[in-house]
Amino acid sequence: MDEAPEGQEGVERRAEVFWDWAGAVAARIRQEQPMSAKALYPGTFDPPTNGHVDLIQRGAKLFEHLTVAILNNPVKNPLFTVEERVEMLKEVTGALPNVSVAMFDGMMVEFARMQGATAVLRGIRAISDYEHEFQMALMNRRLAPEIETVFLQPAGRYSFVSSRMVKEVFSFGGDVTGLVPPNVLRRLRGRMAKGQGLGSGV
C-alpha cells in the first residue's frame, strides 16, 4: 500500500527542523571562524540572476574569501558557455575584492578542498528547495566532514527567481528587467537578436 502523502503540517515541521539545523551551522562558523573561513558558492549560473548576486554580496560579508564556482556540465545544454558565464560573473563581482570566479567539473567537495574552502554556500528559495539541498548537504558532509554547508535565503523580491524561469519568460518576450544584472540582460538580448534559442539548461 502506498504511504499517505505528508500533510502540510508535516512539511512545515520538517522545514522548521531544517532551518534550525542550518542556523546552528552558520552560527558555529561565525563563532569558531569569524571572517577567516573561505567559502565556495557552486552552481551553473546559466544565466546569473539578481538572486545569485544577492547571495554573493551577502556571502562576501560572511567569509574572508568567497569563490563563485561555475559547474562545467555540458549535459545540461547550457545557454551560455562556461567562459561567458565566468565573464558575466566577473563583471558583476568586480567591486567585491574578496570574491573570485572559477570553473570546475567533477566532485564539488574535491574542488572545495583544492580551493581551501571550509564552507559551501547554498541558497534556498522556498520549502520545495530544502529537501534536495538537505540531502546534498548530508552527502557532502559524508564525503568531506570538514566542510560545512551554509544556507542563505535570498531577498524576498528574488525568492521566486531562477535561471530556468528567466530563460523561459524571456524566450516568450517577457520583461526580465530587474531579475538579472544589466550585463546579463544585454547578452540575453544579443542572443535573441542573433536568432539563437535560449536552450533548456537550469
Q: Clarify whether 52 is annotated catalytic.
A: yes
Q: What angle do CA 85, 186, 202 make, to 5 degrees?
A: 45
| Active-site residue flag, 167 | no
Looking at 14, 38, 58, 76, which residue is catalytic?
A: 76
Q: Considering 52, 65, 167, 187, which one is annotated as catalytic?
A: 52
Is there a contact between 179 and 168 (Cβ–Cβ < 8 Å)? no
Of 15, 2, 9, 28, residue with least CA distance to 148? 28
> Which of 65, 122, 163, 187 is the catalytic position?
163
Q: Which of 125, 141, 164, 171 is catalytic?
A: 125
**How large is the C-alpha radius of gyration of the chain?**
18
Count of Cβ atoms closer than 10 Å to residue 184 Cβ: 27
User: Which is nearest to 50 in space by CA: 93, 100, 103, 108?
Assistant: 93
Tell me the C-alpha distance between 66 and 41, whole Å: 7
Q: At what angle do helices 82-92 and 182-193 cross, to 10 degrees?
A: 150
How far apart, in whole angstroms, are the C-alpha atoms of residue 181 and residue 188?
11
Residue 76 annotated among the catalytic residues of the structure = yes
Residues catalogued as catalytic: 52, 76, 125, 163
